[in-house]
Chains A and B, each alone.
Chain A
Amino acid sequence: MAEFVNFYLIPGLVLGSIYALGAIGVSMLFSILRFAHFAHGDMMTLAAYLALPVVVGLGLHPLAGAVAAAVMTSAVALGIDKIAYQPVRARPTIVAVMISLGVALMLRSVIQIGFGVKIESYSAGQIVPPLRFDWFVILEKHIWIIASTLVLMLAVHLLLSRTRAGKAMRAMSDSAELAQLTGIPTERVVRLTWIVGASLAAIAGVFAAWDTYLQTMMGWFLLLPIFAATILGGIGRPYGAMMGGLIIGLAEELSTYPWITDDPLVSPGYKTGIAFAIMVVLLIFRPHGLFGGRVF
């Protein structure tokens, strides 16, 4: 029990939180801009690196680094939208998909040139003992990551259900054309979507780096499980994306638990394959996702 909770369930929730935060953004961007944003992972990497001078240089808490990274990453996302996506808004969305792939590669290269390719950490050389409650052991950063994710999910829910801007986002997801005929400033809704999506991605990126370390390929590796989570939740459904992220994160971690024999059910090296397998099975049998959404 203790082993299962401490070493599988909690890491699964942490990973799931990171995936969920990324997947909410991918899902929102898909429903409003109508394209699969392949640069989402590398945007997370960028955020993790942008937080590095804040956390290591200024010595601030990684949560402060996450907030700073969210602001900076939002600015970058708005700039990229202006230069790369706005000019092709009226074109078939596959154009934007391909551009986002190019943006992903460019972001990664810029990070590699700017920060170097060696592994970095927010807490090099520090060893933080975990908190102990009887048999329950948890790292403080894991509490922060899970709790912050829950708060952010609630914030997204309140944005979408209570604010006029959030309702305008949902309206545009229903019909961009009608939104325009209604007088909703669609370009402003698009910008808000970038700010929300990029901020959540940034925070997820910082969390991923805080949980482990920084590496210039980290976001690219996160992209597959995040897309799997998005599809699992039903594309264009932010609430589904939250669930999808948690399910994929838990599935990856729990798959390595010694369920049957004394050995891990799936060797940890193949963990990422779980997300891929879930995605393939879904695309074949439930392309609308578990909760109903658009088809890719």
Chain B
Amino acid sequence: MTAPVLELRGIAGGYGEADILHGVSLTVAGGEIVVVIGPNGAGKSTAIKAVFGLLRISAGQILLGGEEITGLSTEKLITLGVSYVPQTGNVFPTLSVEENLELGAYIRNDDWRPRAREIYEMFPPLADRREQAAGTLSGGERQMVAIGRALMLEPRILLLDEPTAGLSPAYQHDILMIAKDINSSGVPILMVEQNARQALEIADRGYILVDGQNRLDDDASVLLSSPDVAKMFLGG
């Protein structure tokens, strides 16, 4: 069996003195969308930040394609093919759409333009707004810029932190469909979502975190059809 793209083994850690995660384990296999859900304060976003080197990790291991990446710097992780889209402040507002994409490819030494063309094909609304400042776009379009920027490096795995937060219902659906499309093009995705039900509908598997620990994980369809899960985590 080939190694999973991403594997967290018993990760504990936090930002300051106190740990927020107390042993989180999860895997993302090639081609999968994995969604992490759970109540507020469960450490969902924290878990994703741990992967991107933004957390003090006190125990456990993180592996990328079987290679240990625990404790590596964000800069190093980017070069290894990990891309991360933060929940807020994820575009450069005074820069144009095109400049946002160009900077997404900052560490690439080759020509970034062909990749940008692919991104525009993926997000047609952006193609008409290349020269527009990203800060003047709608929330959904901004999210497209943010995801597009993260895709400029053709990452081995894409980390999305609540991509639908603060969007209108129509855009929430669009963004999740985009995530599905990106995944279909071959990019594994690890995503944290508040819209648990909608996210599980596009996901392969889901993990439920509570108090910084794994509570439950299973195929997304199993989680969606479980009455207990529905009652406790999907709002009935």
A residues with CB within 8 A of B: 164, 167-168, 170-171, 173-175, 177-185
Of the four ranges (under 10, 10 to 19, 20 to 34, 35 or more), the interface on chain B belongs to: 20 to 34
Q: Which residues of B contact A182 (CB under 8 A)?
A: 78, 103-104, 106, 149
Taking the complex as formed, is B52 at the interface, i.e. its CB lies under 8 A from any CB of chain A? yes
Q: Complex: how many Å from CA A175 to CA B149?
A: 15
Q: Are B107 and A183 in contact (CB under 8 A)?
A: yes
Q: Interface 1/0s, chain B 71-97, versus A by CB < 8 A?
A: 000110011000010100111111100
* A184-B106 in contact given A177-B89, A178-B89 (Cβ < 8 Å): yes
Q: Which residue of A lies closest to B146 (CB)?
A: A178
Q: Are A174 and B95 in contact (CB under 8 A)?
A: yes
Taking the complex as formed, is B211 at the interface, i.e. its CB lies under 8 A from any CB of chain A? no
Distance between B158 CB and nearest chain A CB, rounded to angstroms = 13
Taking the complex as formed, is B102 at the interface, i.e. its CB lies under 8 A from any CB of chain A? yes
Q: Complex: how many Å from CA A200 to CA B89?
A: 32
Taking the complex as formed, is B99 at the interface, i.e. its CB lies under 8 A from any CB of chain A? yes
Q: Complex: how many Å from CA A180 to CA B74?
A: 8
Q: Which residues of B contact A173 (CB under 8 A)?
A: 94
Q: Interface 1/0s, chain B 97-113, versus A by CB < 8 A?
A: 00100111011000000
Q: Are A183 and B79 in contact (CB under 8 A)?
A: yes
Q: Which residues of A contact B99 (CB under 8 A)?
A: 167, 170-171
Q: Which residue of B lies closest to A165 (CB)?
A: B106
Q: Interface 1/0s, chain B 175-195, versus A by CB < 8 A?
A: 000000000000000000000
Distance between A174 CB and nearest chain B CB, rounded to angstroms = 4
Distance between A181 CB and nearest chain B CB, rounded to angstroms = 6
Q: Complex: how many Å from CA A279 to CA B103?
A: 36
- Of A173, A178, A185, chain B has the most CB atoms within 10 Å of the CB of A178
Q: Which of A178, A183, A185 contacts B92 (CB 8 A)?
A: A178
Q: Which of A171, A180, A181, A183 contacts B95 (CB 8 A)?
A: A171
